[in-house]
Structure 1
Amino acid sequence: MNPFQENVRAYIRAGYPILYVVSAEEERAIELTGQAIAEGDLARRKLYIWSVSRGLCGTDMKPLDPRTADPKRILPYLLDFKQPGVFVLEDFHFFLDDRYPAAALAIRQLRDIVVPFQASRKSLVLLSPVLKIPPELEKDITVLDLEMPTEEELAAVLDETAEQMKDNPRVEVNLEGDARERIVKALSGLTRVEAENALAKVIVTRSRLDPEDVDLLLAEKEQIIRKSGMLEFYSSPERFGSIGGLDQLKQWLRQRGKAFSEAARAFGLPSPRGLLLAGVPGCGKSLTAKAVAAEWRMPLLKFDLGKVFAGLVGASEENMRRALKMAEAVAPCILWIDEIEKGLAGSRGSQGDSGVSSRVFGTLLTWMEENQRQVFVVATANDIEGLPSELLRKGRFDEIFFVDLPTPQERATILAIHLTRHHRDYRDFDLARHAAATEGFSGAELEQAVISALYAAFAEGEDTRLEDRHLEKAIGETVPLSQSMGERITRMREEARKRWRLASTPPVEGEEGGAEVEMAEPPPVPKKPRRVFEV
């Protein structure tokens, strides 16, 4: 018996008259409720289901009285019902809304059944995907959330699907080794019906059930994210090979890549919680968030804190809770909060927004500390001074890294990555000289220098080769941020080196001039589209 069933059973035994179950999974909620009352002293209570389309029915879905389909008649009917029972009312929240003409009547009827139900072994369960409780009923209703299916439930769905396919010679089923666990992890966050549909889609599309098909399962999660409105699903081809340097950060992330598995739990490891990347703008913080999702093969959810404060007055806290709940539903996943200092700008003072920013910030902090789902938070920040001290203490993040301006060797590697991306052989260029000439450049500025050089070469003629002279000219015309905002960047770097862990290994003194390219893995190169011939 899961926690939801235990709560339902406890509340009904204690005589709670009205329960409100928040869930879009009607079939599963009714099934679990029926199982909760099927044993012991509650077995005498039968389960009944009501909807506006059918009226009151037994578990065989045969209407007891067609007239009960009228929402104004169902509550008086239940009040006079002689037998003990648990009555599930589907989507009754519509009739509690102020826009429904008879809402006042429905609210009064619900209040009228509270005391009689307490004394007659009858319980009412309002089942709805939307929580709608009028103020008049707040003291009489107990709210229960039906959590998403557990990994055990999803594993049962997978096993049932595999059992159905085992005699089909056209479908290959591979659940050996850690394959079963990987597929279940990919299904995590889907409802039972969504999981069944996702597995069916994989089988129909690829005629197999294999962990290599995780990408199709993640596509189903993307549908959930799109419908939420608070989070944005990112599908990025970036890998660690796209990042020049940051060797310490990459090593830290690689060590935690397998820490979400059951083997890690058995070893005694907790799930990684997240990290904060602070540093100079344009040095790879956002790129790292995209790359770690691809490396770990997890969905990447971008959380725009600005959307939390949009909408109706008083809705910001609910928007924050809804977004975090959605991230938990899709777990395991990466939750990327870009430029977090801007989203929390008002959290230090509540004069301008009646304390909304502080309350939203408090909700986020509490969730970060208490979250038990496998949601790895990657927060980025350009302005270290704008970060509240409560966010920086241990327990919120596993580690805080400072992403500094690239070293000479990292600059050479970054130039090589962008030259390769634009279909050039980096070995044809004097990267050591260009790395020395770009002291103080960020990764974004190096990328733009390569693009500017390509424009200059193309302007000379389509057959012109990109040469060192084009790069030299583009570099010479670039004014880096470390120069235009020199005092601020210098102060940030000096302060951060004392407080945070460095994402890159500092260059050895005396080796500043020798910049060699070190590419542990090739960067992803955009593929040229194949020409289609119609013969």
Structure 2
Amino acid sequence: MNTALTQQVFDLIRLNNPLIAVESPLQERLRLLKNLAGECQQKNVNCYIWTLEDDQLHQLQVNEDLVLQQVLDYQSIAKNRREHYFEVLRFWKTTNLQGILILEGIFPWLGTNTSDPDFFLTAEWIKSALINLKLYNRNSNKTAILLGPNASLSSDIAAEIPTVTQKLPTVEEISTHLLGVLPNNYSETEIHEIALATVGMYLADIDYGIKQAIASGSTNAQELTKKLSAYKVDLLRRVYNIEFLQPPAIEVGGLDLMQSAFKRYKRLLTPLAKAYNLRLPKGILLIGPPGTGKSYSAKACSQQLGIPMIILEWGSFRSYGNLAEYKLKNLLSLVDRINRVILYLDDFDKGFAGDDDLSRRLAGMLLTWMQERTSDVLIIASANNIEWLPPELTRSGRFDDIFKVDLPNNGERHSIFTLHLARFDYRFRNGNGFSDEEWHRLLKATHRCVGAEIQAIVERAVISTFCLMFKDDVLPVGELPPLNITLSALLEARNNINPLAIREAERIESMRNKADLQGQASSPVDSSIYSVGNVDIFGG
């Protein structure tokens, strides 16, 4: 089977490139080797492979499976004059053998520079040997393919070695592959649905997921789709250190202006908007103090648009060190292939707290991708300290919309309380639950509390109410009596917490003031019956 990647490689060979780099994930290695060896057989070209692990040269052939035959010439010649572990480069330059040589395991010496002198000397020798090999083997019917999962090349050699990268398969490619894998009784529509569920995985991963699902007894299309979706979520978490969420069913208290903006974004995904060349914003930035609902707002956007969300802790990329750019490149390729998805960069500012070269390089990669991408990916980033972000990230044209997510006003706190109380007390599901006077007392007592703190207050009050109602753990006979959450229970729970906006008043006010300078309001002026106009910001 001649894949697009194989076609790219042979196109470069036809252009007389004696040295080519190929980036392919490990799980696709067997399929790629079969494709390369099979294409070589069709063209009557020899195909060889050398691996760093055993320092042996084998000729590749394909019958029903991949066959490796040891090349004894290399073992005898290399053994007699080996000076170091990469004698294969010198051998391929001078041998009478012709065809394609696949070299696995060399890329670590071709990436960024190192301060280790031994590693540096080996890396320089390999680079020199590759350049000599390229010059020596030009027009000699010999091609060396450097193969690995990370084809990162340092700047001094990158221009000399064309690189091709194995991309994630498209929905169409997956559907075609599934036709040869799934039972014949699956309809075209069912196969398309399974393909949609598996976008973001390589074919080898899809095959493994199908085997697992069938082994567990999932034989119909609906069960298989569900199992493969769960397998993909787990795989993406392990490979990319991200969380993949389907559109949640949530309610949001307040932030009406931001919610209206999300509804506009949904219209930009329609065919009518596409006909007018309208697009989603390049990015959305949510700024404000901790606990004000930035992450919750991103989930609300996922719900409004009806598209899944990938949650990434941006600061985690710093822990990858030299692999950070490779990890980010792969992640951006993933979201591009999934297409209609929200990429949520949580705690975006923490990734720039160090103000080092790595942070700037990652920011540059992200900005370039945001400017050039054509996919329907919506970037949402959240930040507490906007001053940590590089100025180029917040200038006009980078993040199209910047929202200030502030401390909730009285009307918003009423909505947030109602949402959380309704989870436990039926009175708040269809009615008010409290009198206006009781609400005024509660809202005054919780001034400067954020959404996360309101949730904590409600849950503490629910626990204390439960413990007072039931002195033992015996399940009552008949219908469960309702939990009636009282104002006094909520006020007592409020007294047991110290809101961050009061505890760290100076720091929180600094965040709010700086957010005011950059962001547009996410909430309108409070026009609810609970609005009290100007109040002492410290709740006095």
Specify the TM-score bucket, using the shorter chain as the normaliser: 0.7 to 0.9
Deviation at 1:319, TM superposition (A): 0.7
- Matched residue SS, 1:309: helix
Distance 1:504 1:127, change over 3 A: same
State whether structure 2 residue 202 is matched by structure 1 residue 191: yes
Aligned residues of 1:277 and 1:378 also touching (Cα < 8 A): yes
C-alpha distance in structure 1 between counterparts of 2:19 and 2:199, whole Å: 31
C-alpha distance in structure 2 between counterparts of 1:341 and 1:273, whole Å: 18
Gaps of 5+ in 2: 79-86, 112-117, 472-482, 534-540
Aligned residues of 2:46 and 2:99 also touching (Cα < 8 A): yes
Hey, what does 2:237 align to over in structure 1? 225
Deviations along 1:163-218, one digit per CA (max 9) or x if unpaired, are x4234xxxxx4554xx7665434322211111233345455543222499356325
Deviations along 1:222-264, one digit per CA (max 9) or x if unpaired, are 3243134xx33255895332x2222332343345458668897
Letter in 1 for 2:289: V
Hey, what does 1:239 align to over in structure 2? 249
State whether structure 2 residue 447 is matched by structure 1 residue 447: no
Percent sequence identity over matched residues? 24
C-alpha distance in structure 1 between counterparts of 2:331 and 2:485, whole Å: 48
For residue 404 of structure 1, the aligned residue among 391, 403, 406 is 406
Aligned residues of 1:183 and 1:211 also touching (Cα < 8 A): no
Deviation at 1:375, TM superposition (A): 4.2
Aligned residues of 2:281 and 2:400 also touching (Cα < 8 A): yes
Q: After the TM superposition, which residues 125-144 of structure 1 pair with which residues of structure 2 at under 5 Å, given as runs?
A: 125-131=145-151, 141-144=161-164
Aligned residues: 487
Letter in 2 for 1:220: K
C-alpha distance in structure 2 between counterparts of 1:342 and 1:133, whole Å: 28
Hey, what does 2:184 align to over in structure 1? 166
Q: After the TM superposition, which residues 41-52 of structure 1 pair with which residues of structure 2 at under 5 Å, given as runs?
A: 46-52=45-51
Letter in 1 for 2:177: V
C-alpha distance in structure 2 between counterparts of 1:65 and 1:387, whole Å: 55
Aligned residues of 1:48 and 1:86 also touching (Cα < 8 A): yes
Letter in 1 for 2:138: Q
C-alpha distance in structure 2 between counterparts of 1:441 and 1:407, whole Å: 9
Hey, what does 1:12 align to over in structure 2? 13
Letter in 2 for 1:57: L
Hey, what does 2:172 align to over in structure 1? 152
State whether structure 2 residue 349 is matched by structure 1 residue 338: no
Aligned residues of 1:429 and 1:467 also touching (Cα < 8 A): no
Aligned residues of 2:236 and 2:244 also touching (Cα < 8 A): no
Higher mean C-alpha deviation, range 275-284 or range 367-376: 367-376
Hey, what does 1:418 align to over in structure 2? 420
Deviations along 1:406-435, one digit per CA (max 9) or x if unpaired, are 233322221122223346542473174335
C-alpha distance in structure 2 between counterparts of 1:139 and 1:497, whole Å: 46
C-alpha distance in structure 1 between counterparts of 2:265 and 2:5, whole Å: 32
Letter in 2 for 1:282: G
Distance 1:292 1:208, change over 3 A: farther
Letter in 2 for 1:277: L
Letter in 2 for 1:301: I
Scaled by the length of structure 2, what TM-score is found? 0.73
C-alpha distance in structure 2 between counterparts of 1:244 and 1:226, whole Å: 33
Aligned residues of 1:55 and 1:69 also touching (Cα < 8 A): no
- Matched residue SS, 1:120: coil
Hey, what does 1:501 align to over in structure 2? 520
For residue 102 of structure 2, the aligned residue among 82, 85, 88 is 88
Deviations along 1:286-344, one digit per CA (max 9) or x if unpaired, are 12234545664525232241x333366xx2xx414413422432534433322222321
C-alpha distance in structure 2 between counterparts of 1:460 and 1:83, whole Å: 86
Distance 1:122 1:304, change over 3 A: same
Hey, what does 2:225 align to over in structure 1? 213
Hey, what does 1:319 align to over in structure 2? 324
Deviation at 1:380, TM superposition (A): 0.8
Hey, what does 1:528 align to over in structure 2? none
Distance 1:509 1:49, change over 3 A: same
State whether structure 2 residue 384 is matched by structure 1 residue 376: no
Scaled by the length of structure 1, what TM-score is found? 0.74
Hey, what does 2:491 align to over in structure 1? 472
C-alpha distance in structure 1 between counterparts of 2:109 and 2:43, whole Å: 30
For residue 294 of structure 2, the aligned residue among 268, 279, 285 is 285
Q: After the TM superposition, which residues 301-320 of structure 1 pair with which residues of structure 2 at under 5 Å, given as runs?
A: 301-305=311-315, 307-310=316-319, 315=322, 318-320=323-325
Distance 1:103 1:453, change over 3 A: closer
Hey, what does 2:23 align to over in structure 1? 22
C-alpha distance in structure 2 between counterparts of 1:445 and 1:66, whole Å: 69
Distance 1:197 1:56, change over 3 A: same
C-alpha distance in structure 2 between counterparts of 1:154 and 1:50, whole Å: 28
Hey, what does 2:61 align to over in structure 1? 58
Distance 1:182 1:283, change over 3 A: farther
Structural RMSD (CA): 4.5
Hey, what does 1:357 align to over in structure 2? 359
Distance 1:17 1:424, change over 3 A: same
C-alpha distance in structure 2 between counterparts of 1:422 and 1:239, whole Å: 18
Aligned residues of 2:348 and 2:382 also touching (Cα < 8 A): yes
C-alpha distance in structure 1 between counterparts of 2:254 and 2:388, whole Å: 26
Aligned residues of 2:37 and 2:47 also touching (Cα < 8 A): no
Higher mean C-alpha deviation, range 217-226 or range 453-462: 453-462
C-alpha distance in structure 2 between counterparts of 1:127 and 1:403, whole Å: 47
- Matched residue SS, 1:46: coil
C-alpha distance in structure 2 between counterparts of 1:64 and 1:509, whole Å: 80
Higher mean C-alpha deviation, range 497-506 or range 334-343: 497-506
Aligned residues of 1:239 and 1:294 also touching (Cα < 8 A): yes
- Matched residue SS, 2:342: strand
Aligned residues of 2:287 and 2:404 also touching (Cα < 8 A): yes
State whether structure 2 residue 433 is matched by structure 1 residue 429: yes
Hey, what does 2:285 align to over in structure 1? 276
Deviations along 1:1-48, one digit per CA (max 9) or x if unpaired, are 98756653453233222112111222454466579889xxxx866251
Deviation at 1:265, TM superposition (A): 5.7
Aligned residues of 2:246 and 2:308 also touching (Cα < 8 A): no
Aligned residues of 1:301 and 1:336 also touching (Cα < 8 A): yes
C-alpha distance in structure 2 between counterparts of 1:509 and 1:417, whole Å: 16
Hey, what does 2:84 align to over in structure 1? none
Letter in 2 for 1:376: L
Distance 1:90 1:473, change over 3 A: closer
